[in-house]
Amino acid sequence: MKLIKTIFQIFKKPQPPPLPDILFPGLVSSKQFAALKPGQRMQAVMIVGDTGDVKFYKFMQWCILRDPDPGVQFAALKRLHHFSGQADLVSFLQQLDTSANKSNLEPYLSMALHRLGVITNDELKSRLNGV
C-alpha cells in the first residue's frame, strides 16, 4: 500500500502554491507594493481605505500621488472621506484640485471634495457636467 502511494506521489501533477490574498501596508515596502498587480493593489486600497484607520492615511495619500494605475488612485480617492478626522485632508484635496494632474483624477476628486463638504452639490454637478 505504501508503495502505491509513493508511486502516485511521483506522478502527481504539482500544484502551484496559492497566491497570498493581500499584503497590507506596513508589512511591505513601497517597492514591493508597486510590484503587485494593479488588481491586488486596488484590493489593498479598498480593504484598508474602508477601515478608516489613521495608520493607513499616509498610505492612501501615497497611492493617490504615486501609483501609476488610475484605478488604484480612484479607489483611494473614493475612500478618503473615511479619514475625515485628519487635519490635513482638506488641504491635501485642495492641493490636488489646483494641481496640473487634476483632470486625471476626475470625477473622483470632485466627489471626495463634495463628501467632505468642501464644494456644494451644485458645484459638484457643474464639475461632473464639465460646465
Question: Residue 13 is placed in which grid cell?
Answer: 501533477
Confidence tier at 21 by pLDDT (50, 70, 90): very low
- How many whole angstroms from its chain centre is CA 43? 7
Question: Residue 5 is placed in which grid cell?
Answer: 502511494
**What is the dihedral sign for C-alpha 118, 110, 54, 92?**
negative
- What are 67-107's pLDDT values in tens digits? 999 999 999 999 999 999 999 999 999 999 999 889 999 99
Q: What are phi and psi of 120, to 5 degrees?
A: -80, 170
- What are 24-63's pLDDT values in tens digits? 555 677 777 888 899 999 998 999 999 999 988 988 998 9
CA nearest 52: which of 29, 21, 78?
78
Angle between helices 70-79 and 57-66 (to 10 degrees): 140
* Global pTM value: 0.76
